[in-house]
Structure 1
Amino acid sequence: KILVTDKPESKVFRIVLYTAVFEDFINKVRPSMVLVGGTTVGRCLAPRKAARFRAGLTADCTILDVQDNTDLDQIRPAFGGNIMAHIHTPNHRPQFATVRYKIFNAPERTEKPSGELVIEDIPSQRLESRIRVLEVRKKEKVQSIEDAEVIVVAGKGVKKEADLSMIRELADRLGGMMATTRPLIEAGWTDPRTQIGLSGRTVKPKLIITCGVSGSVQFVAGMNNSENIIAINTDPKASIFDVAHYAIIGDIYEVIPALLKNLPARGGQAHKGDPS
């Protein structure tokens, strides 16, 4: 069942108005739990809702489970991703949680949609707000590793910052994006938005290639649902091989150049020195 509130006042996002609509929905449906996407809007809306109902909120959950008595197991990284906090809120309903992007698999699109669409009404006075939107400026969309279908990850096996160029080149040849692990972010080599792991982003691409990545628990939790995982590492006992579908035991400084020699540049044109 899908409940829809469509009012002229809701054309532009205003937190007070959206909170009122959300509150009206919860009062009507009386759910045991409320899950909100961990987006910019969701992270703004969920805490206000939880406060309205004098309930707790677990933010940025990466694992969820429901017990027989409807208690929600809320699991999320804490202390910089070094531990996993297991949180219960058994004494209050609804139970509120925001959910990290890409945690759940999207259901397959069906050719024959089913379900019920319910148009909800809410009194106009409930939608009154002293916030006036004077102008809306569209923000330029930034490409994110979370939306990439192919990702090449640079790990501690990369010896110096300049060597990231070959990782970027491999990602570019495959039509994907480069990502990194936490040590490279802490070294200041790349943008924090490229970090994969519990303290970074969660990704689920069709193909991910890890280059010199050891495979810590924190990193693996952010990518282990990828469709195809190829790992390159000199250590045959590296933890990353436990989750990889294909393992290449070798030096990234030998393996990646060899791959580049056999991969055409994007658009089908070979780079200088590459076989045509």
Structure 2
Amino acid sequence: MTALVIAEHDNASIKPATLNTVTAAVACGGDVHVLVAGLNAGAAAAAAAQIAGVSKVIHADGASLAHGLAENVAAQVLAIAGNYSHILFPATAGGKNVAPRVAAQLDVAQISDITKVIAADTFERPIYAGNAIATVQALDATRVITVRTTGFDAAAATGGSAAVETAAAAADAGQSTFVGSEIAKNDRPELTAAKIIVSGGRALGSKEKFDEVITPLADKLGAAIGASRAAVDAGYAANDLQVGQTGKIVAPQLYIAAGISGAIQHLAGMKDSKVIVAINKDPEAPIFSVADYGLEADLFTAVPELVKAL
């Protein structure tokens, strides 16, 4: 029984979500192999070989894999899928783009967003915005799985000594073409990898107030900035800052929620945080039910005072 992890990388290094996915793969039992598919991705393959628990790295290098187009990556996975009992992807935008294509081609049911491995064929996954946990048993010979990375500790990035094996790159499927990318540059930590997150909600009232109140606190703490869906929909914060069921799933060491009431959709995205601090003037706000520390106060007074104290 061997598991294959599809690595997320930038052709030079391995992204953190891959490390959590390796931990899930190890829990499935048997050997763990990692597929690094890209262009000039030798450095990423070498980094993958250092991950603790990995016994082999398969490095596929070619122009068709340069930008991680879902059709081409899926074809690469399918070319070697017959060797594996488990194929695991991080439940990121990239992983969720490729995994369903692989599952459909293999004619198996995808098991999405697992948070625990009970046995090689049995897994836990959240449903109903995390209000219930489903135990799912897979009857297919090949299990195609996406892993909620916040549910698993990251494997050690060093200490391994896996062999790197070269595989022929899959031909371009010709179904999509990379046109270009517009990447937002940000000096702050990436939201899903940040150890500290400061999030603001609709109570901030405007984009100006959001920036005025949330940014200084995030600066003091070296934190990433997040937002509730209500704040994003109102235009207070950018789309890629949204935390929640329809945004990003995060589990930082410290999550500070200012002016967020705590709808279940938001809680689904952050309730696995190690320490949750809620600042809200409504004593009945649902956010207090998951908070480790709650401050019933006006955020426009409390947050600046907190910044001064820091």
2:242 counterpart residue number: 195
Deviations 1:214-269 (A, max 9, x none): 22322222112223222112233433223222222221122122223334xxxxxx
On the 8 A contact 2:202/2:234 being kept in 1, the answer is no
Displacement after TM superposition at 1:56 (Å):
2.5
Displacement after TM superposition at 1:68 (Å):
5.5
2:262 counterpart SS class:
coil
Work out which of the residue numbers 154, 158, 165 in structure 2 matches 1:106.
154
State the aligned residue count.
Answer: 251
Work out which of the residue numbers 117, 131, 136 in structure 1 matches 2:162.
117
- Percent of aligned positions that are identical: 26
Are residues 48 and 89 of structure 1, via their aligned partners in 2, closer, same or farther at CA, if it must alter by over 3 Å? Answer: farther
Unaligned ranges ≥5, structure 1: 264-276
Q: TM-score, normalised by structure 1?
A: 0.72
CA distance in 2, matches of 1:16, 1:236: 50
1:22 aligns to 2:80 (yes or no)? no
Are residues 227 and 69 of structure 1, via their aligned partners in 2, closer, same or farther at CA, if it must alter by over 3 Å? Answer: closer
1:75 counterpart residue number: 126
Displacement after TM superposition at 1:150 (Å):
2.2
CA distance in 2, matches of 1:220, 1:163: 23
Displacement after TM superposition at 1:201 (Å):
0.9
1:34 counterpart SS class:
strand
Q: TM-score, normalised by structure 2?
A: 0.65
Are residues 139 and 161 of structure 1, via their aligned partners in 2, closer, same or farther at CA, if it must alter by over 3 Å? Answer: closer
Displacement after TM superposition at 1:47 (Å):
2.3
On the 8 A contact 2:115/2:151 being kept in 1, the answer is no
1:42 counterpart SS class:
helix
On the 8 A contact 1:35/1:97 being kept in 2, the answer is yes
Work out which of the residue numbers 291, 296, 300 in structure 2 matches 1:244.
291
Amino acid at match of 1:148: A
Deviations 1:11-31 (A, max 9, x none): 7356566445423443123x1
On the 8 A contact 2:71/2:98 being kept in 1, the answer is no
CA distance in 2, matches of 1:156, 1:130: 44
CA distance in 2, matches of 1:95, 1:75: 18
Amino acid at match of 1:22: V
CA distance in 2, matches of 1:195, 1:135: 26
Amino acid at match of 1:200: G
Point out the structure with max Rg over C-alpha: 1
1:93 counterpart residue number: 141
Work out which of the residue numbers 45, 57, 62 in structure 1 matches 2:98.
45
1:166 aligns to 2:217 (yes or no)? no
Are residues 8 and 196 of structure 1, via their aligned partners in 2, closer, same or farther at CA, if it must alter by over 3 Å? Answer: closer
2:282 counterpart SS class:
coil
Amino acid at match of 2:126: I
1:107-186 equivalence runs, <5 A? 107-108=155-156, 113=159, 117-120=162-165, 124=168, 127-129=170-172, 140=183, 142-143=185-186, 144-164=190-210, 165-186=212-233
Are residues 254 and 197 of structure 1, via their aligned partners in 2, closer, same or farther at CA, if it must alter by over 3 Å? Answer: same
Amino acid at match of 2:154: A
1:270 counterpart residue number: none
Unaligned ranges ≥5, structure 2: 1-30, 32-54
